[in-house]
């Protein structure tokens, strides 16, 4: 039984929409994190429990460090191999439509689409229904509400998927989005039989030697600016190749960098291709990194945001330092400071 006496009306409506369709495709953003994959799995388990033909899709598949998560059916990386023609598309945790990948993006307007997300600035691209709720800590929390509305118990593999979403997007219940409702949901999952310790062990103990080498390299070479309030790491493609690492091996590094005493903004600039870099920003408290990411057309949350920069790595680094400095100055009500020194 839910610990919440009132279900969100959006969750009730989505549960009803799901009852009306028999062939449902569930997708989330490419290069999925724990919330994207967790909410995908949770929705998949719910649909299977409702007796629906269900397919899961992700343009890049599941990252190696999350391959332990039980899925109700195979996670497809190609749309040509789906077991049926979808009647409904459910898109999860995508702050913008393009994040589902080039292959799936055209279907967003060709199929009835439910868009469930918790990112600020979501353009509400769902053609059938949009539930965008920035007050939710994770999209998996929203999936749990839909499951409750459908009368599904939050137990077993569904509970495990929801918990992965929660623990990932709250930083282990340490971020500012960790509300009382989050704790109540986690308690409900534990009351339903979830082995919390086992999930944490599977999530945490997935490091490889290449990942360890990459983190060691980044920790040796990150920079501190603005009197210790800004920490930035830069990862070139050559760094990953030298360590034998992959993009997903950097998952969690920027949160780790934020642990340095005095740091208000932690950032990671990753070179994905010549002239294209990925930015991740993290902060604590009232410091708003979403506004800084927005300078580059990105978005996210107040304390966790990102963007893609069409710049060479060195130029991207300087642009990010300037944007962070200007953002902090604006939020503090002072003038931008030079970012060239320690």
Angle at the Cα of 44 from the Cα atoms of 41 and 48, rounded to 5 degrees: 140
pLDDT band at 25 (very low <50, low <70, confident <90, very high): very high
Specify the domain boundaries for CATH 3.90.1640.10 within the chain: 9-204
Indicate whether 336 pLDDT > 60. Answer: no
Contact between 131 and 108 (Cβ < 8 Å): no
Predicted confidence at residue 300, as pLDDT, reads: 86
Strands 113-117 and 88-92, sheet pairing: parallel
pLDDT band at 241 (very low <50, low <70, confident <90, very high): very high
Predicted confidence at residue 43, as pLDDT, reads: 98
For the entire predicted model, the pTM comes to 0.85
Indicate whether 2 pLDDT > 70. Answer: no
Specify the domain boundaries for CATH 3.10.310.30 within the chain: 209-332
Indicate whether 253 pLDDT > 50. Answer: yes
Contact between 85 and 111 (Cβ < 8 Å): no
Indicate whether 341 pLDDT > 60. Answer: no
Indicate whether 1 pLDDT > 50. Answer: no
pLDDT digits (tens, 9 = 90+) for 76-126: 999 998 999 999 999 999 999 999 999 999 999 999 999 999 998 899 999
Indicate whether 342 pLDDT > 50. Answer: no
pLDDT digits (tens, 9 = 90+) for 163-192: 999 999 998 998 889 999 999 999 999 999
CATH class of the domain defined by 209-332: alpha beta
Kindly state the average pLDDT of the residues 53-82.
Answer: 96
Strands 129-132 and 75-76, sheet pairing: unpaired
CA atoms within 13 A on the CB side of 190: 11
CATH class of the domain defined by 9-204: alpha beta
pLDDT > 90 fraction of the chain, expressed in percent and rounded: 88
Angle at the Cα of 12 from the Cα atoms of 10 and 18, rounded to 5 degrees: 100
Q: Tell me which residue of 109, 90, 78 sits closest to 36, measured CA to CA.
A: 90
- Give the Cα separation of 290 and 306 in Å (integer): 7
Phi, psi for 67 (deg, rounded to 5)? -70, -15
pLDDT digits (tens, 9 = 90+) for 264-314: 999 999 999 999 999 999 998 899 999 999 999 998 889 999 999 999 999
Count of residues for the chain? 342
pLDDT band at 5 (very low <50, low <70, confident <90, very high): low
pLDDT band at 339 (very low <50, low <70, confident <90, very high): low
């Amino acid at each position: 039984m839910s610990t919440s006496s009132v279900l969100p009306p959006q969750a009730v409506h989505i549960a009803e929409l799901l009852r009306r369709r028999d062939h449902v495709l569930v997708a989330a953003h490419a290069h999925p994190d724990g919330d994207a994959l967790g909410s995908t799995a949770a929705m998949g388990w719910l649909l299977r429990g409702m007796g629906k033909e269900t397919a899961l899709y992700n343009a890049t598949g599941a990252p190696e460090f999350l391959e332990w998560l039980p899925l109700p059916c195979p996670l497809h990386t190609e749309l040509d191999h789906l077991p049926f023609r979808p009647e409904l598309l459910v898109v999860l945790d995508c702050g913008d439509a393009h994040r589902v990948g080039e292959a799936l993006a055209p279907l967003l307007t060709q199929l009835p689409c439910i868009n469930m997300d918790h990112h600020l600035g979501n353009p509400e691209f769902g053609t059938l229904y949009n539930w965008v709720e920035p007050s939710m800590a994770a999209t998996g929390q929203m999936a749990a509400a839909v499951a409750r509305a459908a009368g599904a118990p939050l137990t077993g593999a569904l509970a495990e998927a929801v918990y992965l979403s929660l623990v990932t997007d709250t930083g282990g219940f340490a971020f500012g989005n960790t509300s009382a409702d989050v704790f109540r949901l986690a308690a409900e999952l534990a009351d339903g039989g979830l082995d919390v310790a086992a999930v944490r062990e599977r999530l945490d103990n997935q490091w490889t030697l290449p990942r360890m080498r990459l983190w060691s390299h980044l920790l040796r070479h990150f920079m501190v600016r603005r009197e210790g309030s800004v920490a930035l790491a830069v990862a070139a493609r050559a760094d990953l190749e030298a360590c034998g690492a992959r993009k997903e091996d950097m998952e969690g590094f920027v949160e780790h960098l934020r642990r340095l005493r005095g740091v208000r903004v932690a950032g990671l600039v990753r070179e994905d291709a010549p002239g294209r870099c990925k930015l991740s920003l993290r902060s604590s408290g009232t410091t708003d990194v979403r506004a800084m990411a927005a300078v580059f057309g990105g978005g996210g949350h107040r304390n966790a945001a990102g963007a893609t920069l069409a710049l060479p790595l060195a130029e991207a680094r300087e642009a990010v330092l300037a944007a962070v400095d200007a953002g902090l100055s604006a939020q503090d009500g002072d003038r931008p400071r030079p970012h060239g020194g320690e």
